[in-house]
Amino acid sequence: MVGTLMGGLLLGILLARPLSSMLPEHFGWRAVFVAAALMTLATVGVAAATVPRHVPAHRASYARVLSSLRHSFMRHPLLRQRAL
């Protein structure tokens, strides 16, 4: 899995420069931004289709969540040590 991920990252890095040079050469400098916008929209579409919906079981307010963090921080010395 790590090899697949690293291979994809390196391939993206190595291909980004030549493609970003050829695209404006043939279609103009605005094409780079249009291509980036289309790739972003495609990523959003894939994420929206594949990420499962998760609704938390509890209904706590933001203030209550922050106070629970304070409570955990005071209660657990290891958490304080790692945080500091």
Residue by residue, DSSP assigns 5-16 as HHHHHHHHHHHH
What are 9's two structure tokens? 């990252």
Q: Give dist(CA 14, CA 17) in Å, integer.
A: 7
Q: Give dist(CA 18, CA 26) in Å, integer.
A: 13
Which residues form the domain of 23? 2-49+59-83
Domain count, the chain: 1
Q: Confirm whether pTM is higher than 0.85.
A: no
| Secondary structure of residue 54 in the 3-state scheme | coil
Q: Is residue 71 part of a domain?
A: yes
State the burial class of residue 41 (Cβ atoms within 10 Å of its Cβ: 0-12, 13-18, 19+). exposed
pLDDT at 6: 95
Q: Is residue 54 part of a domain?
A: no
pLDDT digits (tens, 9 = 90+) for 22-80: 989 999 989 989 999 999 999 999 999 999 988 888 888 889 888 888 889 889 999 99
